[in-house]
Amino acid sequence: MNSCFCCCFVMLLWAGQNTSTEAKSFTLVNNCNETIWPGILTRGNNSNGYGFALQQGQTAFYNATAGWSGRMWARTGCSFDKNGTGTCQTGSCGTSINCTVPSNPPNTIAEFTLGDVDFYDVSLVDGFNLPVVISPIDGKGNCSIAGCDGDLRQNCSSGLAVKSDEKVIACRSACDAFNTDEYCCRGAYADPVACLPTNYSRSFKQVCPAAASYAFDDSISIITCSASEYVVTFCASR
């Protein structure tokens, strides 16, 4: 692990794409019993990507201007050399500690679009690797807590389970595992009327009712709020 990430608090200060001076702040909390490697990627501008190590109990801070749109996730089981080159068991975004490409499923993703009104959700469309919860601070609007504080790895279907040394480290989505139009909501199923919940997505929803379990599961999973700060907690306690 890169030694510059070994301090008690990791500070990441960044200005997003929008020229607005209204900043939105994020607090990333590692409540897991292991080191994770968060990735942060700007939608439509992959050069504005970050990645770093976050040890158990550490907190990181990230600032983005209004208008920023992107995603955050955690990588697990990573090993990086002093140059920031390495591999991860889940959530990999290539071989660099800095994420300039989207993550490789399966992994849990926190998604944001910021503005006068913010939109956010936690998506399991690409599968699950860790519990992730988004909590707005002093927000106006709906401002519900989004995400999943359950652990889908504990009861993951054998057809979806990703294992390392006989331990389930991630749970694939049905789309990622089987790649059919029905599960991926494409082709004849490319609209909300045709693409309905399946037994696989229902099992995700049962454990994670406040997360998107498949492509068109956004009726309650996408939250609208206006807040100055959001807390993204990995492995949030029930």
pLDDT score, position 138:
86
Helix (H) or strand (E) segment spanning residue 206: helix 199-207
What are the angstrom distances between the C-alpha of 3 and each of 31, 98, 123, 155? 21, 15, 32, 36
- The tokens for 170 are 């991630």
pLDDT tens track of the chain, all 238 residues?
443 333 333 333 333 333 334 778 999 999 999 999 999 999 886 667 899 999 999 999 999 877 899 999 999 999 999 999 999 999 999 999 999 999 999 999 999 999 889 999 999 999 999 999 999 998 898 899 999 999 999 999 999 999 999 999 999 999 999 999 999 999 999 999 999 999 999 999 999 999 999 999 876 688 999 898 999 999 986 4
Are residues 182 and 115 in contact, defined by beta-carbon separation less than 8 angstroms? no
CB 72 within 8 A of CB 49: no
Q: Is 182 helix (H, G, I), strand (E, B) or coil?
A: helix
The C-alpha atoms of residue 231 and residue 225 are separated, in whole angstroms, by: 14
Sole residue written with tokens 């998506």: 123
Task: Output the pLDDT for position 47.
Answer: 64
Locate the domains of the chain by residue range: 3-234
The pLDDT, as a whole number, for residue 237 is 65
Task: Answer whether 52's CB lies under 8 Å from 12's CB.
Answer: yes
Nearest to 51 by CA among 69, 42, 172: 42
User: How many contiguous H segments (helices) and E segments (strands) does the chain have?
Assistant: 3, 17
- Please state the φ and ψ torsions of residue 24, each to the nearest 5 degrees: -120, 135
Q: Tokens 């599960």 appear where?
A: 183
Return the pLDDT at 218.
73
pLDDT at residue 12, rounded to an integer: 38
Residue 31 is predicted with a pLDDT of 97
- φ, ψ for residue 176 (rounded to 5)? -65, -40
Q: Could you say which of 2.120.10.30, 2.60.110.10, 1.10.10.10, 3.30.1050.10 is the CATH number of the domain covering 3-234?
A: 2.60.110.10
Provide the residue type at 54 as one letter: L
